Copies of this chain bind each other. A is one copy, B any other.
Amino acid sequence: MTHVREEILGMAGYTPGEQPQAGKFIKLNTNENPYPPSAQVTQAIRRALDSGLARYPDPLCDSFRHRAAEVLGVDPDWILCGNGSDDILTIVTRAFVAPGKKLRLPFPSYTLYHTLAQLQGAVSEAIPFRDNWSLDEKFHSHTHDLQLAFLPNPNSPSGTLLSPEEIRNVLEQLPCPLLIDEAYVDFATTDCLALVRENERLMISRTLSKSYALAGLRFGFLIAQPQVIRQLLKVKDSYNCDTLSIAGATAAIDDQRWLAENRAKVLATRERLTKALSELGFSALPSQANFVWSPHSGRPVQPLYEQLKSNRILVRYMKYEGWQDGLRISVGTDEQIDACLTLLKSMV
């Protein structure tokens, strides 16, 4: 196909984690929540379905914006809704990064950031984390043509968290806008919401996929100052969220009690998982997310991934150039994690 842009022809494309559509797997590879979402979500979607699908949805998702605003303590016009937080990251990239210019990201982190830069014809500038997953000071250095920086916090695959104070320090020195990707923040001890008020260059993206158990619904959002949101609204598709997902997302964020209970369960299992992995010789990092990053100094881990898969347990095998490879294991139910640990014990 000769007419496709060179940038697209030359790129491999982002590869999402395996999503087997058939067969029964214990899925611990894409950080989905192992529990069903709040019952309020299902009820709200049923009601919306009964009200009909023939009409276009609300382009601004105002029902969600109003309820989320109350929960977060901001005004509704500080919120932009998206078809998953991937949609939000695409919108922000297109709004801030011109072709040929630079998008900064830490490494290793979410590999989609690099793909987004490629799609935009921009240059991604990867700044390696230090060995202990702290942020190198190069991350806030001035570079020619730097237009945007992405920083996931908690990070994946490490599950590590930078404090709001560290992020404030980065932001003050950074010459461009900074998007903090808080996809996993509901499992962490701090967040950066307060920083959005202080600086229009700070944006926060969140998703309902992980902590609200709604990966199938595709709903994410951005929190930023209203003059930023107004510009980003021009970039999004008019009707980027559908009637059912708006209804479900509104009900989800309304049920903060469900969130607290779910979080407590996930955190309890996470602690068990981390401890057990350490006992098996993994260098399992203390995690602030719903997964545990598990390199192993004593043996190669790719065969473990393969053996688990052949036993219908999917974890994520990850190899980043210059870094020790490892397994990223999502926090499942206690039963799922026990099944995974039992198998691992028989292998290591």
Contact = CB atoms under 8 A, between A and B. Distances in A.
Interface of A: 1, 3-5, 7-9, 11-14, 16-17, 19, 21, 27, 30, 32-37, 41-42, 45-46, 49, 52-59, 62, 83-84, 86-87, 90, 94-99, 112, 119, 121, 147-148, 176-177, 200-201, 209, 213-218, 225, 227-228, 231, 233-235, 237-245, 248
B53 A213 contact: yes
Given A121-B99, A217-B244, A238-B16, A231 B1 contact: yes
B84 A239 contact: yes
Contacts of A56: 16-17, 19, 30, 32, 209, 215-216
A17 to B, nearest CB: 8
Contact of A34 (B12, B21, B54): B54
A254 to B, nearest CB: 16
Contact of A238 (B14, B34, B55): B14
B231 A45 contact: no
Nearest to A21: B58
Contact of A19 (B58, B84, B87): B58
Nearest to A86: B237
Contact of A53 (B12, B37, B87, B177): B37
B37 A54 contact: yes
A5 B240 CA distance: 21
B30 A52 contact: no
B49 A16 contact: no
Contacts of A58: 19, 21
Given A58-B19, A238-B86, A3 B217 contact: no
A37 to B, nearest CB: 6
